[in-house]
């Protein structure tokens, strides 16, 4: 680790997240520092996290680590189990064998991560507003969820239980973020999470119905 990086270490910790200062200490240095800071002391990271401004850095952090975590965890799982397919065989039986669904899944990972990163804070912001915590903002929640998603994805590398650890640690980091920035109580956070999941589920149903109606209307009589 070079001296320049050491000189900026303290500055980045108190004015972070470090990842958003890649021009100072480089790509890999700030990536590692952000991951370790989020794991060791997420309260400090969230306390100094920017609330406004561009969200590209947070989005890149989330998508990069989620995609890498998923791909590497799949590779580890295939090595451990001896499975030759990216997705289970039963999924081919369900979806059909006309396409290489494993390749499609891998190629769609960045898009899925991006969509999740934009819609999760949207539903959370709506949910917090519905339970009376109206001081939340989309941009701040976007950053909380982005750094929680990306950091938690590191635990996906644990064979077997990585997915469960990812979910649990992601939940924990989001809770810490909301408690640190908005002084959200545990009950409020849990209620907002449940409501956000419900809103997302309803939105998916509505989208499916609209898509079905559109395709039905476009099909020849």
pLDDT tens sequence across 125-151: 999 999 988 788 999 999 999 999 999
Q: Which two tokens stand for residue 76?
A: 């580890």
Query: Backbone phi, then psi, for 208, in 5-degree steps?
Result: -65, -40
Q: Which pLDDT score is estimated for 216? A: 63
Picking from 148, 144, 135, the residue whose alpha carbon sits closest to that of residue 182 is 135
Tens digits of residue pLDDT in 15-27: 668 898 888 878 9
Q: Are 84 and 76 in contact (CB under 8 A)?
A: no
> Rg of the Cα trace of the chain?
20
Q: Are 70 and 105 in contact (CB under 8 A)?
A: no
Q: Which pLDDT score is estimated for 22? A: 87
Handedness of CA 84, 89, 91, 93 (dihedral sign): positive
């Amino acid at each position: 680790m070079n001296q320049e990086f050491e000189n900026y270490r303290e500055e980045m910790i108190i004015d972070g997240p470090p990842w958003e200062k890649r021009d100072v200490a480089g790509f890999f240095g700030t990536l590692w520092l952000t991951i370790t800071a989020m794991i060791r002391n997420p309260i400090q990271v969230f306390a100094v996290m920017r609330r406004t401004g561009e969200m590209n850095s947070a989005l890149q952090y989330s998508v990069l680590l989620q995609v890498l975590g998923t791909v590497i965890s799949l590779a580890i799982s295939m090595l451990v189990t001896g499975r030759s397919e990216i997705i289970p065989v039963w999924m081919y039986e369900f979806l059909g064998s006309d396409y290489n669904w494993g390749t499609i899944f891998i190629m769609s990972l960045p898009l899925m991560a991006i969509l999740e990163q934009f819609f999760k804070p949207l539903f959370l912001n709506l949910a917090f507003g519905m339970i009376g915590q109206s001081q939340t903002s989309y941009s701040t929640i976007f950053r909380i969820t982005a750094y929680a998603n990306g950091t938690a994805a590191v635990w996906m590398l644990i064979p077997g239980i990585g997915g469960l650890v990812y979910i649990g640690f992601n939940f924990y980091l989001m809770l810490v973020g909301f408690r640190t920035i908005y002084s959200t109580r545990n009950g409020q956070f849990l209620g907002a999470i449940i409501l956000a999941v419900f809103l997302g589920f309803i939105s998916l149903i509505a989208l499916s119905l609209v898509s079905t109606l559109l395709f039905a209307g476009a099909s020849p009589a």
